[in-house]
Amino acid sequence: MPIALYALTVGAFGIGVTEFVIMGLLLQVGSDLGVSIATAGLLISGYALGVVVGAPVLTTLTGRWPRKQVLLALMVIFTLGNAACALAPSYGWLMAARVLTALAHGSFFGVGAVVATGLVSPERRASAIAAMFTGLTVANILGVPFGTWLGQQYGWRATFWAVSIVGLAALTVIARFVPRDAAARDTVGDWRADLAAMMRRPVLLGFASTVLGFGGVFAVFTYIAPMLTRISGFSDAAVSPILLVFGGGMIVGNILGGRLADRALVPTVLGVLASLMLTMGLMTFAFHSQIAAVIFIGLLGATGFATAAPLQMWVLEKTQGIGQTLASSLNIAAFNLGNALGAWVGGVVIDHGPGLGAVPIVAALLPLGAIGVVLLALRLDGRGVRTPAALATSQI
């Protein structure tokens, strides 16, 4: 993989840390700013909303810019947003700074994914996307725990200063290593044509499969700590080390999903979604054994993030070359909508029955729905899936 691709990985790492590290700092933030933990938790929702809004808006507004220029501008927004978080004098200012930072998230991954596919040969495009997304997975296994420790030792503001430094580093390596693209991207900023392309049924079905597939992951992951302590019987102190297993699974699954998608996209999309569904269905029973619970935490990370690159490539291929950057950004927003959907579904199962222990098996219905959406898209595409042979040779 070219070094420019790893420059994008650095940016993805910083964005991944700033998105998830707040989960480990809610107590410190709430105490310092005089708000409840529940109110502090809205900083997570605010960030997700910023991603959903920022992805299409910034991508459209920068439609006439070369992609490298867009990436640099987004990293400037990201760095300034984290510095603003560190300086925030009140909860309201912190929320505004978090939303500002989130605006860069969807567009960076969306534009970055398109840039990544252009840096490699056509048969390695999904692997290139996976390589960029590795920054996000490494952020979860290394960056978030370190950022949480830093915030607990030196105050939550220190964490945001540290992420600002990561942003400056990403800005530097992107400026140095990502090649220039003299031409404006996609349809020369024709946002009307891009939006029209997004309304095509195959593209919309691609977004839907992303929302449902990743929604299942977060339906389980959002409530992983209480399931480990109340069902499996682990202590609170054991949760963090177990989550490292989840992070390791993320890295393996992300890379594997990209490589498999390069070989055969359609079978990979269906295969990873089916594997995710099966993993979550069996987790319902695995949580009653501590050893099995740890194993399935790793499998959840692997099967969950094995979907990332294939689903991103699926949407890019569905655009037929029109509005690829906007589609890529919107699909990142779809991942975040899936996060919100999954957390809501899990909460409904816990609050209104059948209860905490049933969250994984109910969550398995979401990737099952994603499989149904993919099969529908294939049928509407005129490339039916009547036989395994047809699946093995179909390329979307």
Q: 218 and 338 in contact (C-beta within 8 Å)?
A: yes
pLDDT at position 38? 66
Rounded CA separation 262/111 (Å): 20
Give me the CATH code for the 188-396 domain, please.
Answer: 1.20.1250.20
Tens digits of residue pLDDT in 50-89: 888 888 888 778 877 888 888 999 999 999 999 999 999 9
pLDDT category at 92 given cuts 50, 70, 90 is very high
Long-range residue pairs from 87-90, CB within 8 A, at least 24 positions apart, any chain:
87/157, 90/33
pLDDT category at 321 given cuts 50, 70, 90 is low
Rounded CA separation 318/320 (Å): 5
pLDDT category at 290 given cuts 50, 70, 90 is very high
Q: How many residues does the chain have?
A: 396
Q: 328 and 207 in contact (C-beta within 8 Å)?
A: no
CATH class of 1-185: mainly alpha
Mean pLDDT of 331-352: 83
- Burial (CB count <10 Å: 0-12, 13-18, 19+), residue 127: buried
**Minimal CA–CA distance to 26: which of 55, 47, 2, 57?**
47
Rounded CA separation 223/359 (Å): 8
Tens digits of residue pLDDT in 196-210: 777 788 888 988 999
User: What are the angstrom distances between the C-alpha of 314 and each of 4, 177, 179, 330, 331?
Assistant: 23, 27, 25, 13, 10
Which amino acid, residue 319? T
Comparison of pLDDT for 39 and 158, the residue scoring more = 158
**Minimal CA–CA distance to 194: which of 307, 55, 69?**
55
Q: 363 and 227 in contact (C-beta within 8 Å)?
A: no
Please give the full DSSP string across 66-133, using - where no structure is assigned. Answer: -HHHHHHHHHHHHHHHHHHHHH--SHHHHHHHHHHHHHHHHHHHHHHHHHHHHSS-GGGHHHHHHHHH
Mean pLDDT of 103-131: 83
Rounded CA separation 16/339 (Å): 14
Mean pLDDT of 312-340: 79
pLDDT at position 382? 64
CA 37 to chain centroid, in Å, comes to 24
CB-side exposure of 389: number of CA atoms within 13 Å? 0
Tens digits of residue pLDDT in 216-252: 988 888 788 788 888 999 887 787 788 788 888 988 9
Rounded CA separation 384/381 (Å): 8
Tens digits of residue pLDDT in 375-384: 998 888 765 4
Peptide linkage before 354 cis (omega within 30 of 0): yes
Could you check whether 1-185 and 188-396 share the same CATH topology?
Answer: yes
Per-residue tokens: 46: 């605010």
Rounded CA separation 377/308 (Å): 18
User: What are the angstrom distances between the C-alpha of 54 and each of 9, 207, 237, 326, 336?
Assistant: 20, 16, 37, 11, 12
CA 65 to chain centroid, in Å, comes to 25
Cα-Cα-Cα-Cα dihedral sign, residues 57, 202, 366, 265: negative
* Global model pTM greater than 0.95: no
pLDDT category at 389 given cuts 50, 70, 90 is very low
Boundaries of every domain in the chain: 1-185, 188-396
DSSP run (H or E) holding 290: helix 290-305
pLDDT category at 29 given cuts 50, 70, 90 is confident
- Burial (CB count <10 Å: 0-12, 13-18, 19+), residue 76: middle
